[in-house]
Each structure stands twice: as C-alpha cells, then as structure tokens.
C-alpha cells in the first residue's frame, strides 16, 4: 500500500513538545497578568460586541475581559508571524476615562517585565489630535485616510519618500506636516512642538501613567503612529522593542462604536492585543525564555527486574505528592535512562540499586552538574517538596 507523504500546511503551528511547553509557560504568564488586573475570560472582539449588545442589562460596567484563543488570517505574513496564531486581548467596555488607557499601558509593561523584556517602548498617539493637525494644514476629509497611511510608513520607507508621495498626491506643506508629526527625542519636547494643537488627552494619559509607576523610558508620544483608520477613535498604541526588528509586538487603542452593528446603544471601549507568535520568536531569538522544556521534574529509573516493585512505589509517592514525575518503563542501562531524562530536560533522576534497596535509601542525581545525594527513602517527598518550595521563593 502506497504511503501518504506527511506534509505540514505552510505557516501553521506544528511544534515539538519542548517548544510547546515554553509557549504554554509564556501564555500562562500573560493569562495570570490579565487576571491580576481583574480581567475575566471571554470571546474575541466581534463576538464580544454581539455579547455586550445582547446582555448589557445583565452586566456590570465597566466590563473587563480578556480573550486568548487560536485564530487564522489570510494576509501576507511578516517576520515572526504565522497564518495560524494566538490572539491575546484585553478590553474594557463602558468607560471613557483615560485611566483605562493608563491601565492598558501598565498591563503591557507588567507582561513584558515578567517575560524578561523590560526595555519595550509603548508608542502612543491620539487619533483626534492627528485629525486636528492634518486639518490645520488643509488636508480634507477625503484625503485624510491616504495621508495617514503614508505617514505610518515613515519608519519603513523614510521621511523623504513619504514627503515625495504626499507631494505626488497634491498635498501642500508636505514637509511641514511630516516635520510636525515626527516625534522629538523626549515626550516633553514633542508635546511642546504640538502644544498649539492642544494635546490635552496625551498629557492626561502621561499623568495617569506616572501615577501608576510606569517608567517614562517605556512611553513615547509618537504622532506618526496610526492604526485601524476606520476603527480606532481615541488614543492608539504600538509596542516595539529595541532588541530586534520584529515591528510592533502589541497594539490597540480606543474604539467608541463597539456595538453600533448590533444595537442603538453605544459602548466606548479600549483594548490591546499581544502578538503572541512574534513575542515568542523574539524571546527565543534573544534566548531569554527561562522556562523548563518539559513538565517532568523527576525521572524514576528502574535498576533491574528485582527493583521494579520499589520503583513503582517511589513513583507513586512522588505523583501523589503532586511532584511532576515520570518512570522509565523497563530495566535498562542507567546511562541510557540518564540520556532519556537529559533529552527531555528532566533535571533529576532517582536511582535505587541493590545497595540502596538493602539500606532503604535512594540516590538523587542532578543531571546538570552531576551531583548526587543519598537519603532515606522515607524522606524523598519532603526532599523534592522543600527543593521546589525554596526555588519558587
């Protein structure tokens, strides 16, 4: 019978267990951070809008939720992205307070600090401010979307190319528009440059961020940032890192018409989305994902046929004590069992040879450094429990 050639669809997830363990560990950090700030799980944005429109009378507002689930896209993929990917969102529905945006910034900083990426930059702009600036330079409402899209390309194609394309469109004062929108070296200088356009929204946001203890180094007022021209209505965010050229790794903003498709009621919302795959590829490239590659912490070896019963009893004790443990399923050379544990990233092996069996003892070997310790068998649970308690504190 002709064999089927196994193939993987391009840009779909197909990872080995070790990599999936790292992904799950990072996702758990994101999930726990969302819940730390009081967000509860729910569905993605469009189903969320339908849910709010249908159930708003039963809900307490502001309504805070997070969504983590697998989704798919059709557009051309960029560096670090896949066609099949995870969406990790948080949203606040039913409040127009800029404290919501400041909380989003705090969540962003908290997540990336926990992941070992403290040097991220949250680029922030105001959609309403951008509209005021463009209008002051005579850009009409029909031209505005095209102008905004071109301005967003400054970091990709450069200032001169953007100015050239704006002139080709017939936009007057193209140099002045670009010069006004490009951020200065500090937020204070940027705000001073655009002060006549009344950037009060950005100033209030920065004030709340300061009260929440968000370092200024993590925030940049950048009037060139644009997102979702037909979607976002207030402050907008893009998060980048200095470590690599992955583009933005988190983004979002304020949207004021969440339920307009489903209800006459209007609910303002603000939300952010973490680009999980880009974050993972970045962490892996920088080699700063400090999570174990496999869940098991202990491998119980089987020395020979005469020690199977004792090995099973040791395995049972550790499992029932909630210590992540595996047992090697058959007697074999210890060197082979050690290689098995090492390949799976299991840090400890437990050995009971004839001498240990006679003395009711057990030998524990750390594969990383080769150190061994022999203890009474009745102390094995307390040994590992105390070890991991100390490690986690």
3-class DSSP assignment, residue 234: coil
Among 200-214, 295-309, 378-392, the least confident range: 378-392
User: Which of the pair, 121 or 281, is modelled with greater confidence?
Assistant: 121
Over residues 199-213, mean pLDDT:
95
User: Residue 263's CB: how many other CB atoms inside 10 A?
Assistant: 15
C-alpha distances (whole Å) from 204 to each of 125, 230, 265 are 13, 24, 27
Condensed to tens digits (0 to 9), the pLDDT of residues 15-30 reads: 555 666 777 788 888 9
Condensed to tens digits (0 to 9), the pLDDT of residues 143-187 reads: 888 888 888 888 888 889 999 999 998 888 899 999 999 999 999
CA distance 290 to 307: 36
Give the pLDDT score at 122. Answer: 97
291 belongs to a structural domain: no
CA distance 64 to 97: 14
Number of domains in the chain: 2
Condensed to tens digits (0 to 9), the pLDDT of residues 106-122 reads: 999 999 999 988 889 99
Q: What is the pTM of this model?
A: 0.78
Determine phi and psi for 243, rounding to 5 degrees.
-75, -25
5 belongs to a structural domain: no
Is pLDDT at 7 greater than 60 in this prediction? no
Domain that holds residue 342: 298-392
Cβ atoms of residues 225 and 127 within 8 Å:
no
Angle at 105 between CA 68 and CA 258, to 5 degrees: 60
7 belongs to a structural domain: no
**Which stretch, 34-43, 195-204, 380-389, has highest mean pLDDT?**
195-204
Same domain, 371 and 265: no
Same domain, 163 and 227: yes
Same domain, 331 and 205: no
Over residues 352-361, mean pLDDT:
92
Same domain, 228 and 341: no
Same domain, 303 and 282: no
3-class DSSP assignment, residue 144: helix
Over residues 231-256, mean pLDDT:
87
Last residue of a domain, one of 286, 319, 340: 286
CATH code where residue 181 lies: 3.30.930.10
Give the pLDDT score at 391. Answer: 56
User: Which of the pair, 72 or 139, is modelled with greater confidence?
Assistant: 139
75 belongs to a structural domain: yes
User: Residue 137's CB: how many other CB atoms inside 10 A?
Assistant: 14
Same domain, 158 and 46: yes
Evaluate the CA torsion angle 34, 38, 43, 49 in order and state its sign.
negative
Cβ atoms of residues 77 and 11 within 8 Å:
yes
Last residue of a domain, one of 261, 286, 311: 286
The contacts of residue 142 (CB under 8 Å, 6+ apart) are none
379 belongs to a structural domain: yes
Same domain, 329 and 197: no
CA distance 141 to 134: 9
Residue whose tokens read 């300061």? 210
CA distance 23 to 387: 25
Same domain, 228 and 304: no
Is pLDDT at 43 greater than 70 in this prediction? no
Same domain, 251 and 304: no
Same domain, 311 and 207: no
Same domain, 215 and 347: no
Is pLDDT at 73 greater than 60 in this prediction? no
Nearest 10 degrees: Cα torsion 152, 154, 160, 164: -20
287: left (phi over 0), alpha (psi -120 to 50) or beta: left
3-class DSSP assignment, residue 369: coil
Condensed to tens digits (0 to 9), the pLDDT of residues 51-67 reads: 788 888 888 888 889 88
Q: What is the mean pLDDT of the chain?
A: 85
Alpha helix stretches (DSSP H) within the chain: 17-36, 45-55, 99-114, 127-136, 144-151, 154-157, 159-168, 174-181, 187-193, 200-211, 276-286, 308-320, 334-343, 354-359, 380-392
Confidence class for position 46, pLDDT limits 50, 70, 90: low
Condensed to tens digits (0 to 9), the pLDDT of residues 282-324 reads: 888 887 755 555 568 899 999 999 889 999 999 999 989 988 8
319 belongs to a structural domain: yes
User: Which of the pair, 88 or 59, is modelled with greater confidence?
Assistant: 88
Largest CA distance in the chain: 92
292 belongs to a structural domain: no
CATH code where residue 335 lies: 3.40.50.800
Is pLDDT at 245 greater than 70 in this prediction? no
Last residue of a domain, one of 286, 314, 336: 286
Tokens found for residue 381: 């649970």
172 belongs to a structural domain: yes
Same domain, 273 and 302: no
Confidence class for position 80, pLDDT limits 50, 70, 90: very low
User: Residue 370's CB: how many other CB atoms inside 10 A?
Assistant: 7
């Amino acid at each position: 019978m002709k064999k089927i050639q196994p193939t993987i669809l391009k840009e779909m997830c197909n990872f080995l267990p070790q990599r999936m363990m790292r992904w799950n560990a990072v996702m758990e950090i994101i999930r726990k951070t969302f819940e730390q700030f009081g967000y509860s799980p729910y569905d993605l944005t469009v189903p969320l809008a339908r849910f709010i429109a249908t159930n708003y009378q039963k809900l307490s507002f502001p309504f805070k939720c997070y969504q983590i689930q697998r989704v798919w896209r059709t557009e051309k993929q960029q560096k670090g992205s896949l066609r099949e990917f995870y969406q990790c969102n948080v949203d606040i529905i039913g409040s127009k307070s800029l404290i919501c945006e400041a909380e989003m910034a705090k969540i962003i900083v908290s997540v990336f600090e926990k992941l070992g990426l403290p040097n991220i930059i949250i680029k922030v702009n105001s959609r309403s401010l951008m509209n005021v600036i463009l209008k002051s330079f005579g850009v009409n409402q029909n031209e505005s979307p095209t102008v905004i899209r071109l301005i967003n390309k400054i970091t990709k194609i450069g200032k001169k190319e953007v100015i050239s394309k704006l002139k080709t469109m017939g936009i007057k004062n193209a140099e002045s528009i670009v010069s006004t929108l490009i951020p200065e070296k500090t937020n204070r200088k940027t705000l001073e440059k655009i002060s006549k356009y009344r950037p009060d929204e950005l100033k209030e946001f920065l004030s709340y961020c300061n009260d929440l203890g968000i370092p200024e180094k993590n925030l940049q007022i950048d009037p060139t940032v644009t997102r979702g021209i037909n979607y976002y209505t207030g402050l907008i965010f893009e998060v980048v890192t200095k470590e690599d050229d992955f583009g933005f790794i988190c983004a979002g903003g304020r949207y004021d018409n969440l339920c307009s498709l489903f209800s006459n009621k209007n609910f303002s919302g603000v939300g952010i989305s973490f680009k999980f795959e880009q974050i993972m590829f970045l962490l892996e490239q920088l080699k700063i994902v400090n999570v174990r590659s496999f869940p098991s912490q202990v491998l119980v070896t089987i020395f020979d046929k005469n020690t199977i019963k004792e090995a099973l009893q040791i395995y049972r004790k550790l499992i029932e004590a909630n210590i992540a443990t595996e047992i090697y399923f058959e007697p074999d050379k210890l060197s082979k069992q050690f290689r098995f544990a090492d390949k799976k990233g299991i840090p400890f092996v437990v050995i009971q040879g004839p001498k240990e069996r006679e003395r009711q003892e057990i030998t524990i070997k750390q594969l990383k450094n080769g150190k061994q310790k022999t203890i009474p068998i009745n102390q094995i649970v307390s040994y590992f429990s105390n070890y991991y308690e100390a490690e986690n504190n």
